[in-house]
Amino acid sequence: MRRARTVMIQGTGSHVGKSVITAALCRWFVQRGRRVVPFKAQNMSNNSCVTPDGKEIGQAQGLQAEACRVPARTDFNPVLIKPSGPRQAQLVVNGVVAGTMTPSEWGRLRREHFQTVCQAFERLATEFDLVVLEGAGSPAEINLRDHDIVNMRMAQAARAPVLLVGDIERGGVFASLVGTHALLEPEERRHVRGFIINKFRGERSLLDSGTAGLERRLGVRCLGVIPMWDQISLPEEDSVGWPSVFRRSASTLAEVTIGVANLPYLSNSTDVEALARTPGVRMVCIDGPTNERLDLLVFPGTKNTAHALKFVRAQGLDHVARQVWKAGGTVLGICGGFQLLGRRILDPEAVESSECEMKGLGLLDIITVFARHKTTVQVAGRHLDSGSPVSGFEIHMGQAQAGLNAKPFLELHTNDHQTTRWEGAVSPDGRVIGTSVHGLFDGPEFTRAFLSRVRVPGDALSLPQEGECQGSRDERLDRWTEFVARHLDMAAVEAIIEEGLS
């Protein structure tokens, strides 16, 4: 049986563009008739998504699956680490919670889970034509080399040629590429077959002498220089890119101003990224008391609700929420942010913290009870207030129980449409809302309906109609792929893949 070809995208550090370049390569080869899948052995991120069979993987691999036009599955990201405290993280293996880990236990990953990772890769390698692998952070973290399961050890296991990506926006791109290459072991270095410079601004010819010098030093060629493209409009892999969300939405012609509470251990920040992409929206980060006149204040998801609740009170964000509500604005909580808005949070089994009971902000008539079972499910249904269709997914260990003074927010149905259930909570006046569903704002019709209702009364709202924004995510992936392919030597990339490791 012929095994799949492979190629791996590694970077000189985090947030250099590995995930979206991987997605672009996936889509480019799919467009040419190849059966392609992504693979990231281990991801560390609180931005996750749910597969059709109710398992959890990194959201970046969910996006890459969309780029490949295949359903997401746990083989694409067999190990996911979700930070939940200064020295603690939830460990997800093959899509299900496998306990917690601390930094001192990092070696467990290789000892206990590298075989799992390799088994997942082998399943893909026997089923598809091409596996596009992605590394994590930098392969040159020599203090972590012995524990590595996602960078060069995975490249060796997969016999994958590596394309090394450097981020020129941060400065020092030549030094970071040379330094990364130099810190690799000789056996690792032979995997590196080319380098890519990403996020370039300015005159391309000014880089020519630098890339030529780098080619001589490294002994591999520059495969292209990808310009900075602020219109990429694809989800961030993790919260490292969080500040850019607010820069992109800093419109002076905003019709709706949205504040986002900057919670610790932020999870699924892509919920508000989707809002920020909506024309007419201005989004600001709220760290404490503010004079901003907000139409909407969002408490996003958090991986540690108890810690976030203490933070909200310490920073005065509870007072900000009440000010927004009293001024006629709306307060929205998503997942962990939803739990904060309730009356009480109960954690009798110490699932998330040592606090067995905490008093919430009291803005919604709900009580959240944490349990060891984690809900991971894709959902669809309708927004009860507007009738707009909705879809998304739930990932949470806290179960919200609504009281008599809370109306449901959504009506959700099972995949076979045979049963329905209410979800979320809305205050009697309709201006405090909570939901456990992520991904709602990826739907333009719901987003328009929701923003039309939350805006503080004033002039008529003229948000764009559905389809007037930036197209579907599939269309955005096509545009991003075309942009990347225009600036990379794709013939050379394909030759590297076909040659493999000689």
The 3-state DSSP class for residue 84 equals strand
Residues with Cβ within 8 Å of residue 326, at least 6 apart in sequence? none
Given a contact cutoff of 8 angstroms between Cβ atoms, the answer to whether 351 and 306 are in contact is no
285 is catalytic: no
Considering the candidates 15, 113, 438, 487, report the single residue annotated as catalytic.
438
Given a contact cutoff of 8 angstroms between Cβ atoms, the answer to whether 6 and 494 are in contact is no
Given a contact cutoff of 8 angstroms between Cβ atoms, the answer to whether 164 and 38 are in contact is no
Strand 330-334, strand 432-435: pairing: parallel
Given a contact cutoff of 8 angstroms between Cβ atoms, the answer to whether 80 and 45 are in contact is yes
CA-to-CA distance for 139 and 188, rounded, in angstroms?
9
CA-to-CA distance for 97 and 497, rounded, in angstroms?
35
Taking the CA atoms of the chain, what radius of gyration do you get in angstroms?
23
Strand 366-383, strand 389-402: pairing: antiparallel
335 is catalytic: yes
CA-to-CA distance for 121 and 316, rounded, in angstroms?
47
Q: Which residue stretches of 17-107 are H helix?
A: 18-30, 59-68
Q: Give the relative orientation of helices 59-68 and 473-487 as an angle to the nearest 10 degrees.
A: 80
Q: What angle do CA 85, 89, 90 make, to 5 degrees?
A: 130
Q: What angle do CA 306, 49, 196 make, to 5 degrees?
A: 110
Strands (E), 76-173: 79-85, 88-93, 96-101, 130-134, 162-167
Strands (E), 360-428: 366-383, 389-402, 410-413, 420-423, 425-426
The pair of structure tokens assigned to 235 is 């989800």
Given a contact cutoff of 8 angstroms between Cβ atoms, the answer to whether 245 and 208 are in contact is no
Considering the candidates 49, 222, 335, 469, report the single residue annotated as catalytic.
335
Given a contact cutoff of 8 angstroms between Cβ atoms, the answer to whether 324 and 432 are in contact is no
Catalytic residues: 335, 438
